[in-house]
Structure 1
Amino acid sequence: MEISQDSQVLKSLESLGQFVGATPLFEVQHLSPKPSVKIFAKMEWMQFGGSVKTRPAYNIIKGALKSGELGNGKTLLDASSGNTALAYATIGARLGIPVTICLPENASWERKKLLKGLGVNIVYTSKFGSSDESEAKAEEMYRNDPDKYFLANQYGNENNWMSHYQGTGPEIYGALGDQITHFVTGLGTTGSFTGITKYLKEQKPDIKAIGLQPDGALHGLEGWKDMETAKVPGIYDKAVVDEIKHVDTYDAYDLIKETARREGLLLSPSSAANLKGAIDVANEIDSGVVVTLFPDNAEKYSEIIKSLF
């Protein structure tokens, strides 16, 4: 029996699974404010695609191929401020799946260059509209030509948070178990927060889940959302949130320098912001284990790094 082209694509995708997830857990040894509080972070850039967004992109594509929504020459379409677009692009290039991304025009030149190099068709939206306008544009394009596109819809696709519920959460709990007292991460698509928190609370209900937000609508933390002014993602589960904390962009940028000098890591702004949130939590408790994510490193942020060092 002849194997269909789409079956071969799915088989190729599944062979990539060994390069998705299973990222190391890094102990932040010199920036925790108290010896009685340990801080750990998942180094999410150490997987195919180079960021935490590899997990949901892989899961979304896998689900769509299995359901038949993607394949038969369809183009994957979505809105993204950067890392999810790159994850779609790397997986799409590997599998021969065309990718179109609606991207705010003020995305970094490095992201634009990488996406073009990976063969992505970029549809730019206004730099004043953020990811919300890009999301609306992707929805419009899909409505106008539904036979051409598979709308991945990372903000509303259940396979986003499920990738963390099935992968990242078990990896964290498998490494640290009941030692974990707090989980802290930024809110963007909210997939990582929702999925990881749901899993951890099933294992240990008294774990505190703290969502991080920028301290205003105008901020420099790419991928983060100010929930009071932005469109709230459909996958966001407010019921699992124990507390919301705000992080100042400048504090995060300062921490990039300090983390480089004291921990030997060059972090992205969002990773540094997650670490700042974890340190703030550590300052407020007497003892415990605080876990966060490092979504990516500084490789795609040369303009910011040049300004800091």
Structure 2
Amino acid sequence: MGSRAHCIKGEQLTERIGRTPLLRLARVPAQLGVGTEVQILAKAEWFNPGGSVKDRAALRIVEDARRDGRLRPGMTLLDATSGNTGIAYAMIGAAWGFPVTLVVPASIGEERRRILLAYGANLIFSDPYEGTDGAIRLARELAAREPDRYFYADQYSNPSNWLAHYDTTGVEILEQTGGEVTHLVAGLGTTGTMMGTGRRLKDANPDVVLIGVQPDDAFHGLEGLKHLPTAMLPAIYDPSLVDRMELVNTDEAFAMARQLAREEGLFVGPSAAAAIVAAIRVARELSSGCVVTILPDGGVKYLSTQLWQ
């Protein structure tokens, strides 16, 4: 009697987006004066298949656009990015079969450039001295010039960005902490992570304190973060939602990234390290509490930068 083969049902790559672990920091907070009754927990977003928190927003943006017809067969997804959202778009485009064109500053890191090309994305380079704001302006020009060719995802203005975090990141944090989270610390770039996660936590408990993190200077090295006073403000940003703002110096964040790698085993990018700097500042002021922060990505994409030289 012949045997019959059984095949275990697999899942799509994009089904692995979200549900990232919440890691407890131990050694570094204790060394820097955080009390034993205060926990610092970090969402390890590099566990997403595209390697960053931006997988969440990119997936929701694409899903919503396909559902309502803004991204139709034959169209190309277009957006401006400093790297991580672009990687997420390119990954999803490769998996689902639609072309992706990305406007990126010419100063983009070598690792992110190569990853985007590996996924098959078409790259258009903007003025390196204008940063992501310059990339946004150029992407808008391209979208206006050929509206039938491009779906302009516009992550800085698209409500699907923050809704992704309202429906996933915030829910996960509430579940993983048993609702005991007292503070959320998140970097501000597109601001989607803070806007969505913060709203979800506030809906569950209005006493949760939301702390935004941004560079202390317009000329900074914290990739993915915006110095809001000198940058184009994202349309999805609502400053009234943020209870407190922490400004982080690039050198301070770089030092923290190295310390986290060597003393916590956490190999993170500069924006993640900046979030930890701010989280420790907050935690040192508390006698008890549960401080949750978002670590947007890992450190692999920054090996050629000054962070590790």
TM-score by length of 1: 0.93
1:5-56, Cα deviation, whole Å (9 max, x unpaired): xxxxxxxxx9444211000000011122221110001110101211000000
Q: Distance in 2 between matches of 1:117 and 1:18?
A: 21
Q: Distance in 2 between matches of 1:307 and 1:23?
A: 26
Q: Distance in 1 between matches of 2:86 and 2:271?
A: 16
Structure 2 residue aligned with 1:19? 16
2:111·2:304 contact (CA, 8 Å) conserved in 1?
Answer: no
1:215-248, Cα deviation, whole Å (9 max, x unpaired): 0000000010011000000011112110111011
Find the residue that maps to 1:26 and give its secondary structure.
Answer: strand
Amino acid at match of 2:90: A
1:270·1:294 contact (CA, 8 Å) conserved in 2?
Answer: yes
Amino acid at match of 1:61: V
Q: Distance in 1 between matches of 2:252 and 2:243?
A: 23
Q: Distance in 1 between matches of 2:66 and 2:284?
A: 46
1:69-125, Cα deviation, whole Å (9 max, x unpaired): 112210000000010000000111111110000000001011111111111111100
Q: Distance in 2 between matches of 1:165 and 1:79?
A: 23
Q: Distance in 1 between matches of 2:86 and 2:27?
A: 34
Q: Distance in 2 between matches of 1:141 and 1:163?
A: 26
How do residues 168-207 of structure 1 correspond to structure 2 at under 5 angstroms?
Answer: 168-207=169-208
Find the residue that maps to 1:163 and give its secondary structure.
Answer: helix
Structure 1 residue aligned with 2:284? 283
Q: State the shift of 1:134 in Å.
A: 0.5
Structure 1 residue aligned with 2:237? 236
Structure 1 residue aligned with 2:28? 31
Q: Distance in 1 between matches of 2:240 and 2:271?
A: 24
Find the residue that maps to 1:128 and give its secondary structure.
Answer: helix
Bigger Cα displacement from structure 2, 42-51 vs 297-306: 297-306
Structure 1 residue aligned with 2:79? 78
Q: Distance in 1 between matches of 2:95 and 2:304?
A: 29
1:298·1:305 contact (CA, 8 Å) conserved in 2?
Answer: no
2:157·2:235 contact (CA, 8 Å) conserved in 1?
Answer: yes
1:183-203, Cα deviation, whole Å (9 max, x unpaired): 001100000000000000000
Q: State the shift of 1:305 in Å.
A: 7.2
Structure 2 residue aligned with 1:220? 221
1:156-198, Cα deviation, whole Å (9 max, x unpaired): 0000000000000000001113321110011000000000000
Structure 2 residue aligned with 1:7? none
Q: State the shift of 1:298 in Å.
A: 0.7
Bigger Cα displacement from structure 2, 296-305 vs 130-139: 296-305
Structure 2 residue aligned with 1:110? 111
1:31·1:279 contact (CA, 8 Å) conserved in 2?
Answer: no
Structure 2 residue aligned with 1:300? 301
1:59·1:163 contact (CA, 8 Å) conserved in 2?
Answer: yes
Percent identical across equivalent pairs?
A: 44
Q: Distance in 2 between matches of 1:57 and 1:250?
A: 30
Find the residue that maps to 2:175 and give its secondary structure.
Answer: helix
Find the residue that maps to 2:229 and give its secondary structure.
Answer: coil
Amino acid at match of 2:36: P
Structure 2 residue aligned with 1:66? 67
1:36·1:288 contact (CA, 8 Å) conserved in 2?
Answer: yes
Structure 2 residue aligned with 1:132? 133
Find the residue that maps to 2:50 and give its secondary structure.
Answer: coil
1:104·1:127 contact (CA, 8 Å) conserved in 2?
Answer: yes
Q: 1:117 to 1:16 in 2, by over 3 A?
A: closer
Structure 2 residue aligned with 1:50? 51
1:103·1:125 contact (CA, 8 Å) conserved in 2?
Answer: yes
2:254·2:307 contact (CA, 8 Å) conserved in 1?
Answer: no
Amino acid at match of 1:210: I
Structure 1 residue aligned with 2:90? 89
- Extract unaligned runs of 5+ from structure 1: 1-13
2:109·2:305 contact (CA, 8 Å) conserved in 1?
Answer: no
Q: Distance in 2 between matches of 1:259 and 1:297?
A: 11
Q: Distance in 2 between matches of 1:307 and 1:40?
A: 25
- Extract unaligned runs of 5+ from structure 2: 1-10
Find the residue that maps to 1:277 and give its secondary structure.
Answer: helix
Structure 1 residue aligned with 2:156? 155
2:94·2:120 contact (CA, 8 Å) conserved in 1?
Answer: yes
Amino acid at match of 1:27: R
1:40·1:290 contact (CA, 8 Å) conserved in 2?
Answer: yes
